[in-house]
């Protein structure tokens, strides 16, 4: 390999690394922080929430969350009735909120069932959460969501 080719390869590699370093990160960074309840469901059940790398805090109760994967646009559209071309990103999280855990007005997230899954969608200064019961990860398709018995509810928050 000539010196010129080596130099060109090094410059290209440096440019690629720089682009990756400044590329937008996954929405988890956007999800982090304190969120004010804005939907009726959020105001009557959870109140304000806070998300960090591995915790969801609802009404001063903290729950460990594990990021499972990022969502595809069609999955976000199915869960949150969002335009599939809209900006924003979402994630699937695993968590465990026992059915006996009560929040505002003695409400629970999934009625008499434990909550095992959380789906997020962040666009701009808005966060939407959907909670699911069931041991298996929810099927996030336009066909499955309307018939899901595991979907507990959708909640909307703002910064």
Q: Establish if 132 belongs to a structural domain.
A: yes
pLDDT at position 5 is 47
Evaluate whether residue 13 is within a structural domain: no
pLDDT at 132: 98
Q: Which of 94, 99, 90, 151 is nearest to 117 (CA)?
A: 94
Query: In terms of residue numbers, what domain contains 118?
Result: 26-158
Per-residue b or e along 98-113, where b marks 16 or more CB atoms closer than 10 Å to that residue's CB: eeebebeeeebbbeeb
- Which of 97 and 29 is assigned the larger pLDDT? 97
Asked which of 64-68, 83-87, 149-153 is least confident by mean pLDDT, the reply is: 83-87
Whether residue 11 lies inside any domain: the answer is no
Q: Which of 7-21, 105-119, 145-159 has the lowest mean pLDDT?
A: 7-21
Would residue 17 count as lying in a domain? no
Work out the mean pLDDT of the chain and round it to a whole number. Answer: 86
Asked if the structure places residue 10 within a domain, the reply is: no
Q: What is the pLDDT of residue 19?
A: 35
The answer to the question of residue 19 being in a domain is no
Looking at the domain assignment, is residue 12 inside a domain?
no
Is there a domain that residue 109 lies in?
Answer: yes
> What's the structural domain count of the chain?
1
CA–CA distance, 34 with 31 (Å, rounded to integer): 9
Residue 115: how many other CB atoms lie within 10 Å? 23
CA distance 114 to 130: 14
Helix (H) or strand (E) run with residue 119 in it: strand 115-123
- Per-residue pLDDT at 6 exceeds 70: no
Predicted local distance difference test score (pLDDT) of residue 85: 77
The whole model's pTM is what?
A: 0.81
- Residue 41: pLDDT band (50, 70, 90) is very high
pLDDT score of 10: 42
pLDDT higher than threshold 80 for residue 3: no
Q: What is the pLDDT of residue 1?
A: 59
> Across residues 19-24, what is the average pLDDT?
36
């Amino acid at each position: 390999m000539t010196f010129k080719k080596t130099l060109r390869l090094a410059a290209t590699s440096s440019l690629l690394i720089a682009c990756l370093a400044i590329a937008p990160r996954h929405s988890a960074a956007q999800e982090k922080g304190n969120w004010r309840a804005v939907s009726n469901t959020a105001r009557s059940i959870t109140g304000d929430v806070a998300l960090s790398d591995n915790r969801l805090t609802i009404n001063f109760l903290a729950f460990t969350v594990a990021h499972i994967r990022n969502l595809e646009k069609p999955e976000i559209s199915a869960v949150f009735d969002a335009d599939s071309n809209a900006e924003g990103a979402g994630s699937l999280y695993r968590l465990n909120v026992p059915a006996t855990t009560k929040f505002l007005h003695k409400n629970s997230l999934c009625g008499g069932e434990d909550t095992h899954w959380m789906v997020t969608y962040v666009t701009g200064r808005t966060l939407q959460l959907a909670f699911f019961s069931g041991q298996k990860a929810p099927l996030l398709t336009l066909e499955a969501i309307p018939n899901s018995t595991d979907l507990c509810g959708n909640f909307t928050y703002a910064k």
